[in-house]
């Protein structure tokens, strides 16, 4: 894997920063206008490589490569079973390169190495799952109310898919698009986040190594408006798939609407975790910690609003605060670390702004609320717990994308559900109770695409994920996603041996 960024190539290495080019048509292609942008290691706050600063000319080149690859017999005529085998091979190659990929992403976005290792262990499953699905994608025959008509449907690939992805989990979130899109026979142009291009650039060549023809998977790096927008607007891109902020997702959807192509959106959240009076409070407290402090809160599914029944409120807050106080903050590459940095200085500033807003709106900081002293120079923020904040405050309404949780009390089930659903988002929710009926009743009442009961943050390629309300459009994961990456054609065949009659002559 010659193109991967090795963990040694950090900012401590002497000499100029390593440069990464676009990956187009199976080749490393320098940016058309020669510009590069630095990517920062959030643990140290220093740049550790430069990546191509793509523009419309680079996107044009990548879409041309993907368009050509889509119609080329070397891909178009590959059998569905063979497609599946290629995907499974990618899964194996990821396994072989897991450590290097994990280091690369940890260094680039500050995610814990141990979490990345777990993610890399799960990533091949996506390629195995969609590899298995590849030759089970087919249409159906439809009676069409006549024995003399054969009507059948074909599920065809849509063509070139444009994927735009964020910095919080580049490999995982891009895989959720890549594996099904390729299983369906499409080709792809991927625009990773300007903050974290390295892991995707390391992954892309593995597709050719596995046997995919060049041009099936392409990567153009750069800023959203410069390298993402031309991809959104390119008339040859037949389908868009985006993960990121609701604001950018809404903009992309609007642009896609102008040229009438589909845009799948996986967006933000303000997910509630409801802790009922009968819950195992220790277990729930651990679920709260995992829900908000994993990845320093930089996950779309962060459980950032905790609704605790009044009778267990104090106990829950005490447990969460106690554990927050012992969380080991530091270098994400150190396996003992439990909380790494925010991925960017902008993200740290944003978290601080929300903490200030929470204080100004009358919140009490039960723990945290500032920058820890790590001595590392990066973008660290303490795990932070707010009490005394109403659901109508900014901290409870807006996605912070950081390690900040607000704990709100409720008195009965109806109130809990009302507060939980009183948000513009609808991505995920957690329920903590020992009462089985209450669990199912509450799950049914919540406006959330994913509901976890007595657990949080579980994910599988087999289980569909969708965002309700402003949390998204369309589905990822599971078999359902095939509909997102195929177009449906209906074919009508007249099987009667009668000649077609004159349409203006009434037959008796
Ligand atoms: P973003 O949503 O703007 O960026 C995601 C991707 O979209 C990146 O690849 C970016 O380059 C691209 N992009 C941005 N503008 C674009 C445009 N006009 N056309 C095409 N592509 C474009 O998120 P960003 O700026 O990285 O973070 C801002 C905030 O978004 C964060 O503070 C966080 O709250 C939220 N966010 C939420 C995520 C989630 O999974 N829910 C993921 C990332 C960010
Ligand atoms: Mg970076």
User: Which structural domain range is residue 245 located in?
Assistant: 11-267+471-489
Shared-domain flag, residues 216 and 307: no
Mutate to test the pocket of ligand 1, among 194, 247, 248, 395 (most ligand atoms within 8 A of CB): 248
- Minimum-distance ligand 1 atom for the alpha carbon of 299: 40
Q: What is the mean pLDDT of each run of 10 residues along the chain (508 residues)?
A: 38 75 98 98 98 98 98 98 98 98 98 98 98 98 93 98 98 98 98 98 98 98 98 98 97 98 97 98 98 98 98 98 98 97 98 98 98 96 98 98 98 98 98 98 98 97 98 97 98 93 81
Would you name the residues annotated as active-site residues? 266
Q: Has residue 460 been placed in a domain?
A: no
With helix as H, strand as E and coil as C, how does 238-251 read? Answer: EEEEEECCHHHHHH
Shared-domain flag, residues 318 and 301: yes
Shared-domain flag, residues 369 and 390: yes
CATH classification of the domain holding 47: 3.40.605.10
Q: Give the Cα separation of 116 and 125 in Å (integer).
A: 15
- Minimum-distance ligand 1 atom for the alpha carbon of 191: 9
Q: Has residue 504 been placed in a domain?
A: no
Name 434's Cβ contacts closer than 8 Å, sequence gap at least 6. Answer: 278, 279, 280
Q: Has residue 508 been placed in a domain?
A: no
Centre of ligand 1 to C-alpha 245, Å, is 5
Residue nearest to atom 3 of ligand 1 (CA): 248
Query: Model-level pTM?
Result: 0.95
Distance of CA 17 to the CA centre of its chain: 29
Q: Has residue 211 been placed in a domain?
A: yes
Q: Has residue 163 been placed in a domain?
A: yes
Q: Has residue 463 been placed in a domain?
A: no
Q: What are the CA-CA distances from residue 118 to residues 90, 130, 165, 312, 331 (Å)?
A: 18, 20, 20, 33, 17
Shared-domain flag, residues 385 and 431: yes
Q: Has residue 219 been placed in a domain?
A: yes
Shared-domain flag, residues 166 and 185: yes
Shared-domain flag, residues 215 and 303: no
Shared-domain flag, residues 371 and 482: no
Return the bridge partners of 38, or none. 50
CATH classification of the domain holding 331: 3.40.309.10
Shared-domain flag, residues 43 and 164: yes
Shared-domain flag, residues 142 and 261: yes
Shared-domain flag, residues 157 and 238: yes
Shared-domain flag, residues 116 and 259: yes
Q: What is the pLDDT of residue 500?
A: 87
Shared-domain flag, residues 105 and 83: yes
Q: What is the pLDDT of residue 499?
A: 87
Return the bridge partners of 242, or none. 164, 265
Number of domains in the chain: 2
Q: Has residue 343 been placed in a domain?
A: yes
Name 127's Cβ contacts closer than 8 Å, sequence gap at least 6. Answer: 87, 88, 90, 91, 94, 175, 179
């Amino acid at each position: 894997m010659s193109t991967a960024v090795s963990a040694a190539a950090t900012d401590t290495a002497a000499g100029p920063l390593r440069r990464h080019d676009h990956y187009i048509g199976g080749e490393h292609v320098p940016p058309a206008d020669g510009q590069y942008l630095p990517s920062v290691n959030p643990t140290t706050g220093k740049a550790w490589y430069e990546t191509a600063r793509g523009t419309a000319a680079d996107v044009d080149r990548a879409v041309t490569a993907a368009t050509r690859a889509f119609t080329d017999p070397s891909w178009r005529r590959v059998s569905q079973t063979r497609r599946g085998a290629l995907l499974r091979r990618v899964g194996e190659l990821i396994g072989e390169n897991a450590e290097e990929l994990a280091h690369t992403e940890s260094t680039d976005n500050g995610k814990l190495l141990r979490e990345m290792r777990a993610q890399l262990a799960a990533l091949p499953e996506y390629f195995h799952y969609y590899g298995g699905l590849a030759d089970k994608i087919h249409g159906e025959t439809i009676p069409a109310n006549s024995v003399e008509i054969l009507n059948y449907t074909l599920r065809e690939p849509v063509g070139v898919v444009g994927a735009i992805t964020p910095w919080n989990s580049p490999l995982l979130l891009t895989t959720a698009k890549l594996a099904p899109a390729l299983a369906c026979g499409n080709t792809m142009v991927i625009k990773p986040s300007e903050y974290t291009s390295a892991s995707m650039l390391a992954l892309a060549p593995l597709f050719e190594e596995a046997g995919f023809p060049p041009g099936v998977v392409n990567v153009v790096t750069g800023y959203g408006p410069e390298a993402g927008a031309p991809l959104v607007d390119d008339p040859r891109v037949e389908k868009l798939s985006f993960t990121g902020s609701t604001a950018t997702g809404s903009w992309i959807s609007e642009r896609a609407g102008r040229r009438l192509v589909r845009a799948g959106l996986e967006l933000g959240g303000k997910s509630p975790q409801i802790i009922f009076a009968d819950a195992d409070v220790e277990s729930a407290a651990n679920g709260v910690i995992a829900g908000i402090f994993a990845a320093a809160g930089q996950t779309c599914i962060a459980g950032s609003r905790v609704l605790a029944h009044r009778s267990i409120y104090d106990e829950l807050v005490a447990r969460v605060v106690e554990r927050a106080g012992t969380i080991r903050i530091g270098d994400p590459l150190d396996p003992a670390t439990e909380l790494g940095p925010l991925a960017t200085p902008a993200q740290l500033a944003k978290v601080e702004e929300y903490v200030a807003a929470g204080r100004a709106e009358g919140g009490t900081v039960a723990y945290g609320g500032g920058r820890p002293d790590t001595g590392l120079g990066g973008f660290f923020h303490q795990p932070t717990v707010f009490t005394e904040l109403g659901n109508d405050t900014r901290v409870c309404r807006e996605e912070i994308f950081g390690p900040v949780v607000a704990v709100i009390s409720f008195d009965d089930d109806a109130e809990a559900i009302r507060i939980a659903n009183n948000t513009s988002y609808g991505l995920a929710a957690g329920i903590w109770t020992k009462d089985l009926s209450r669990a199912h009743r509450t799950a049914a009442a919540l406006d959330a695409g994913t509901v976890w009961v007595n657990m949080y943050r579980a994910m599988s390629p087999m289980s569909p994920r969708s965002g309700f309300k402003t949390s998204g459009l369309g589905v990822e994961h599971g078999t359902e996603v095939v509909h997102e990456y195929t177009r449906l054609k209906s074919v009508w065949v007249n099987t009667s041996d009668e000649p077609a009659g004159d349409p203006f002559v009434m037959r008796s």
